[in-house]
Amino acid sequence: MNRARQGDSEAFGELVRLHRERAVGIARRIVRDRMKAEDVVQNALIQAFKHIDRLADVERFAPWLSRIVRNEALMDVRRTARVSRETVFSSLPVKEDAGANGELRPDLDSLLYRLARNTEGPTVGAADPERVWLQREFFAAVHRMLHGLSAGEREVFEAHVFRQLSPREIADALGMSEGSVYKAISRSRHKVKQARVREYLRDRMEAASHGMLRKANNLLPMRWTAEEWRSAETSFAVCAFLYMRNIGCGDVTVSDVMGLTGQAFRISLDAARIGVSGPAMYFWEPVFAEGLANLGLRARHVGDGGTAPSAYMLGEAVALAREEIAAGRAVIAWDLFAPKFGLLYGYDDARQQFTGDDGSGPGKIAYDRLGRGEDGGVFVLAMEPDRHISPVSPEAALKRAIAMVEAHAYGERSFPGYANGLAAYEAWMAAFRNGTVDALGNSYTLLIAADARRHAVQFLRKWTAGWQGEKERLAFEAEGYYYEAAACFARLASRFPFPSGGDPLDQEEAKEAVRLLQQIKACEEAGLTALRRLSRCLSNEEEEKGR
């Protein structure tokens, strides 16, 4: 070894004979070709002979040579990959997709697959400007997708995807542990997947903008206060109330919205343990659409709030929100910054982000994070005044709201394991008797229900104050029953305060809870009877006016 360090070629040749086969094996695992491996080793040996005097520890010759071989092999891989990519890009058969105005766009998934597999197709004429543009677009897309990877992640990702090396081969080539390679591949795949979604959204938004991304932030002049966000515990109703106020319906109160949408009379819960998910577990789409119609609003939505969105569904949700905001209307969206409803009222395509608020203050949310919050489901709902139908009279809207309340109480379908309407009280009492009540979920359900009944009383009181005769008497009767129910809910909420939850498993506490729930159920059954009679009274009055 010392003779080799002093420039003795024969001594160096002896070292080569001792280590050459192992060096070729390392090179073959990387370049996957015996002839290429021989060339790689030959170049590595030349480099080793030229720089052997730099090797301080003569006992480290074998790993030192192996590192030179790996570096030479990787350089060969990069050169080959670069040439291959240029060949692929210039010869790919492009699957075309018509965008806005019929312009053609490359199918990104198809091109990535072909690039990874290093396949060839019929030559695309270099003089074809459209194909040149497509290739340039694809180069830019791939660059953007890989831009978020660190240098190490990108090296591992390219070796795995473009060269199809196994994790073991990558570990050998880069001097990493196989476990580290697996982690790097996993992180890289996740980042590239997110980048591909952003690229998809970028194309969607660019097409919607006729080929030009908007540079300025489109921000609506929405105005509200922290107190208004806290005006009800039902976040959907608060969002609808703020929307109506911002489109000029200043005489509508949050109690009006709670009542006419049926939210003031709802009860939904997790039947087995009264968990925190209960109040939001019902079929939003028909309930919201029918309730908003009572306010004179037409609703459109994307998603159901229950599943993480596909790229297509995310694109639809983003497109709907942008379309409405561009038209001067905010949209309701689920789980922006917490598992509740909020409003989106601004967008910026250049940064791919919305501006929204859910009562915690204005914030930014990236397009690709929509529907991927704590709850993991996308739901975007657009509202606009329905000018295609004649205006609904207040009495007609009230009748429709009462029909919603009755349908909810006596048979609205629910998700398996959840209960709503009057049946929810039986499930609630059973959970107390069985000792299965979750303290946090129970206190949260009580918080929502107690606040809702408070708004039910305010809603009915408004009608009582404006009527005389039989209508006034029936409205006052219904208000009284819901007032008693609200008082019982308030007592329950004080026993099981949110978020500490009290002690619902204590036998005496449970007995008192069952007694109060029985009283609430009886009051609401009586209140429903009064509301049905009020609805018939309104119908009779309409018939008399029509004669």
What pLDDT, on a 0 to 100 scale, did the predictor assign at position 162? 66
Closest CA to 207 of 142, 137, 139, 143: 137
What pLDDT, on a 0 to 100 scale, did the predictor assign at position 489? 97
| Helix-then-strand count for the chain, H and E | 19, 11
Residues whose CB falls within 8 Å of the CB of residue 117, separated by 6 or more in sequence, listed in order: none
What pLDDT, on a 0 to 100 scale, did the predictor assign at position 119? 35
DSSP for 71-87? HHHHHHHHHHHHHHHHH
Residue owning tokens 């929204």: 356
pLDDT tens for the chain, 547 residues long, are 455 445 455 555 666 667 778 888 888 888 778 778 888 888 887 777 666 666 655 566 777 788 888 888 877 776 665 554 444 444 434 333 433 333 333 344 444 444 444 333 334 444 455 555 555 555 555 666 666 778 788 888 778 766 678 888 888 888 888 888 888 888 887 777 777 777 777 777 776 665 444 444 688 988 899 999 999 999 999 999 999 999 888 899 999 999 999 999 999 999 999 999 999 999 999 999 999 999 999 999 999 888 777 888 888 999 999 999 999 999 999 999 988 999 999 999 888 899 999 999 999 999 988 887 766 789 999 999 876 655 678 999 999 999 999 999 998 888 999 999 999 999 999 999 999 999 999 999 999 999 999 999 999 999 988 898 999 999 999 999 999 999 999 999 999 999 999 999 999 999 999 999 999 999 999 999 999 999 999 999 888 776 6
Q: H or E element: which one contains 432?
A: helix 422-434
- Structural contact between residues 196 and 113, judged by C-beta atoms closer than 8 angstroms: no
Domain ranges (residues) in the chain:
1-85, 92-213, 215-252+297-390, 254-280+392-547
- Locate 66 and state its tokens: 């192996």
d(CA 350, CA 344): 17
* Per-residue DSSP letter, 310: P
Closest CA to 496 of 430, 427, 445, 434: 445
**For residue 238, how many C-alpha atoms fall within 13 Å in the half-sphere facing its CB?**
24
Cis before residue 362, ω within 30 degrees of 0? no
d(CA 123, CA 274): 64
Q: How far is CA 249 from CA 241, 293, 356, 463, in A?
A: 9, 15, 21, 18
What pLDDT, on a 0 to 100 scale, did the predictor assign at position 142? 62
- Locate 134 and state its tokens: 């497509």
Render pLDDT for 41-89 as a digit per residue (tens, 0 to 9). 888 877 776 666 666 555 667 777 888 888 888 777 766 655 544 444 4
Q: CATH code for 92-213?
A: 1.10.10.10
DSSP for 284-308? HHHHHHHHHHHTTEEEEEE--SSSP
How many other CB atoms sit within 10 Å of the CB of residue 388? 6
Q: CATH code for 1-85?
A: 1.10.1740.10
Closest CA to 148 of 97, 103, 189, 98: 189
- Locate 219 and state its tokens: 């921000």
Taking phi over 0 as left and psi of -120 to 50 as alpha, with beta for the rest, 503 belongs to beta
The type of residue at 518 is: Q
d(CA 412, CA 32): 64
Residue owning tokens 């939850």: 501
d(CA 376, CA 364): 18
Does the reported pTM lie above 0.75? no
- Structural contact between residues 69 and 41, judged by C-beta atoms closer than 8 angstroms: yes
d(CA 77, CA 201): 33
d(CA 238, CA 245): 11
Q: How far is CA 171 from CA 23, 112, 545, in A?
A: 16, 24, 85
Q: What are phi and psi of 383, to 5 degrees?
A: -130, 145
What pLDDT, on a 0 to 100 scale, did the predictor assign at position 165? 80
